[in-house]
Amino acid sequence: MQEDITHLYSQWSFMHDDQIQAMEVKDPSWRARNNMHLVKSSPALSLLDPLTVECSSLKRLDYDYFGSGLIDVVSSALADFLRPHVHAEFIPITVLHNGQVYNERPLLLMHLLDQFPAMDLEKSNYTEWAEAAGGGIDRVEKLVLNGQAIGSSSAFVLDEIPLLCVRNDLAEALRNAGFNGLKFKPLNTCQNIRPN
């Protein structure tokens, strides 16, 4: 089961320092007002404030996937491909490049609705924040999943840490379809994972 799951992250996640920021949310308070809706497994479309992001790299806008924290941005082509495979909603956003609205192709916020408490807390190795600091997981050294919690979901987010996971067959289909900006790492090789 564990070998069948891959961690999905943006190809830009671990590039040069000047490229780490995939995008900037224009309203600094947007995350504080809306992240609570993105970490729930219920539809958020009617709850979210409109999202406007600035993307400084035109090349990045050619990618089918990029993200920042809990915000996963996908091209409309990738959204169309994913719709029959994942339980998600795709929410239109406004993208700016150099202060101008980017209209070359629509980009969407992907909100995965499959979110499970699937981290096996007995078999995983992790550290927690002190209760005085709010508690919760600080760092995961070794991640082990509870397969029963996941069921047959093809893509999901862990409740314990905001980690986007996909089954290997979907990851392979995405690779074969030629979508760019996606990077996959086998979950059993993930170490030192820190929540965003």
Range of the domain at 128: 2-189
In a domain, 82, yes or no: yes
Residue 77 domain flag: yes
Name, in order, each residue with C-beta under 8 angstroms of 148's C-beta and a sequence gap of 6 or more. none
Give the pLDDT score at 190: 62
Do residues 12 and 183 make contact, with C-beta atoms less than 8 angstroms apart? no
In a domain, 195, yes or no: no
Domains held by the chain: number = 1
**Site of tokens 């806008």:** 61
The sign one gets for the Cα dihedral 158, 161, 167, 173 is positive
Q: Is residue 29 in a domain?
A: yes
Across the strands, what pairs with 108?
Answer: 74, 92
pLDDT at 88: 94
The predicted-structure confidence for 15-60, as pLDDT tens digits, reads as follows 333 344 567 888 888 888 888 888 777 888 888 899 998 888 777 7
Give residue-wise pLDDT tens across range 60-113. Answer: 788 899 877 778 899 999 999 999 999 999 999 999 988 899 999 999 999 999
CA distance 137 to 17: 26
* Within a domain: 194: no
